[in-house]
Amino acid sequence: MSEKPNFRPWSDQIATLIATFGTVQKQLRGLPESSFEALRRINTARDALHTAGIPGIEVIDRAAAALEGECVRSEAEFWGLLTEACSTTSWKVFGTTNRRLINQAIFVSQDGQSVKIEGLPTIFTPDVPRVMAALRDQLQDIESSESDLRAFLDLLLRAYEATSKTGSECNLEELFRCCVVELQRPGFWRNPVKASFVSFTRQAFRFGLSEILRRGMTAPDGRAICLGSTTATKDAWEIFSPGEQRVVLAGRISFASIRGDHGI
């Protein structure tokens, strides 16, 4: 049996046109403040129009051109705008390359229109408000009060005594892992349940070390943190050194009664 001939071929074309306009309306309705996201949605609408054989619409093309200019400026001025935004929250930005340390805790890197925040799988655009919102989520649990830092120093000492041999230097990565173990409640390892796990991030560890060094805090017996370098790059930590005012690679740690500069 032969197929029934389509005497109204234009009806399919109109249906496609209606669907196309629906896609365009969905993409253009309520454009977000982010220039990058707004441009992405406008380009999606333009692609839909092009696929349907509809020539460019001037107002949409003008909007796309303006947004492209805003995106280029945001990319070029990202570090300046981010540093300015961080200053309003009393976060310092360390570094001069396309990878910089925020608040002695977390690294942010930029590669063109891609921005990566340490510890997050999401790739961001150079949209400073969105990047700042993500940084606040990451840094909100990092405490800097005297009592919090004292508690962290006590944790370091317990982990150090459990890790080092007769007070010698120990591996900084091993010390971090020992800190995570020390933080868990009694009995956790007999019945490890995710909901009972006490989280301790690398960013918090990095910040705590730098802040203790910056404040010159010592253990009750007068010993101070001493950081040492390492040849094992995989175990090295990037730590902000208050003494040198730059990020250094540290792989070893000890507590010793010393005078002068504490650590590298």
Give the model's confidence band at 143: pLDDT under 50 very low, under 70 low, under 90 confident, else very high.
confident
Chain mean pLDDT for the chain: 88
The residue among 25 and 263 whose pLDDT is bigger is 25
Q: Which of 25-34, 198-207, 245-254 has the lowest mean pLDDT?
A: 25-34
Closest CA to 171 of 249, 242, 247, 254: 254
What stretches of 164-227 show up as alpha helix (H) in DSSP?
172-183, 202-215
- Each domain of the chain, given as residue ranges in start order, spans 9-75, 78-139, 146-256
If you search the block for the tokens 């049996």, which residue do you land on? 1
- Report the pLDDT averaged over residues 132-141: 93
CB half-sphere exposure, 72, CA atoms < 13 A:
6
What pTM was computed for the model? 0.81
Confidence of residue 262 (pLDDT cuts 50, 70, 90): very low
pLDDT at 261 (0 to 100): 47
pLDDT range class, residue 116, cuts 50, 70, 90: very high
Q: How far is CA 160 from CA 105, 136, 155, 175, in A?
A: 21, 30, 8, 6
